[in-house]
Amino acid sequence: MRATLTVLGSGTSMGVPTIGCDCRVCMSKDAKDRRTRPSVMLEYGDAVVLIDSGPDFREQALREKIRHVDAVLYTHGHADHILGLDDLRPLSFRHEKALPLYALDSTATTIEHIFRYAFDAASTYATRPRVKMNRIAMDGAASLDLFGAEFIALPLLHGEEEVLGYRFGTAAYLTDFSDIPAASMEKLRGLDLLFLDALRRRPHPTHSNLENSLRIVGELKPKRAFFTHMSHDLMHEETNALLPENVRLSYDGLKIEFAIA
Ligand SMILES: [Zn+2]
Ligand SMILES: [Zn+2]
Ligand SMILES: [Zn+2]
């Protein structure tokens, strides 16, 4: 089964341009240097699955004309990945039961705390998001069957915090990590398409940088790789010119086809 991955946002937590910054990337006229907060959409069969719903989700959904969403998978509980949850409301109201969300225990706890009015069983707020949290129990890699496609949740390290990346068919999406445990690396072989964190050039305590992500691509050898979660350190065209031909910076609105099942 073919699927389309759409990059809803390719930027780091602060977005690019960054508030108050007039560096040459933030001032760039190239639309590909404008990066909203990180998230991707997967479309296959009749299904639409999101990975994360960040603070720019509303603008991203309007831009991509999203009409329905069937599930949201979360990578972790940082603001740039979860704060658009309330903007799922108009899409969640179309669900007879509730829009299913999937997250690690720790991430689910953070989301339920921040959006207490949406999850509290005692809440009587009528227009709260109609969502249902499903906690992913981690015991090595967890597997989810969503609308005929298998999603494998892969533990990654984001500084000291355990977060998730996801593999689905011949593609994988790994945002926000500084290290990939060996067991997760093993599950990332034989990919056609790999999206991975490459925050900037210099090393960072909780994110992979350009050099480290190139090393990972060299080890996993996917057919194509795209970097994401990029800061204003990386100018689109200029950085692309330095990369191997099968590795590119992603950008908001990029669409790529791949086999999901
Ligand atoms: Zn992030
Ligand atoms: Zn800047
Ligand atoms: Zn993060």
Buried b (16+ CB within 10 A) or exposed e, 193-226: bbbbbbbbeeebebbbbbebbbebbeebebebbb
Find all residues with CB under 8 Å of 201, minimum gap 6, and list them: 209, 210, 211, 233, 234
Query: How far is ligand 1, taken at its centre, from the CA of residue 17, in Å?
Result: 16
Residue 175 and residue 38 in contact, taking contact as beta carbons nearer than 8 Å: yes
Query: How far is ligand 1, taken at its centre, from the CA of residue 66, in Å?
Result: 22
Query: How far is ligand 2, taken at its centre, from the CA of residue 17, in Å?
Result: 6
pLDDT in tens, the chain (261 residues): 999 999 999 999 999 999 999 999 999 999 999 999 999 999 999 999 999 999 999 999 999 999 999 999 999 999 999 999 999 999 999 888 899 999 999 999 999 999 999 999 888 888 999 999 999 987 766 999 999 999 999 999 999 999 999 999 999 999 999 999 999 999 999 999 999 999 999 999 999 999 999 999 999 999 999 999 999 999 999 999 999 999 999 999 999 999 999
Residue 7 and residue 252 in contact, taking contact as beta carbons nearer than 8 Å: yes
Query: How far is ligand 3, taken at its centre, from the CA of residue 251, in Å?
Result: 19
Q: Residue 25: nearest ligand to its CA?
A: 2
Structural tokens at position 34 = 């404008």
Query: How far is ligand 2, taken at its centre, from the CA of residue 4, in Å?
Result: 31
Cis peptide before 17 (omega within 30 of 0): yes
Residue 232 and residue 23 in contact, taking contact as beta carbons nearer than 8 Å: yes
Q: Residue 156: nearest ligand to its CA?
A: 3
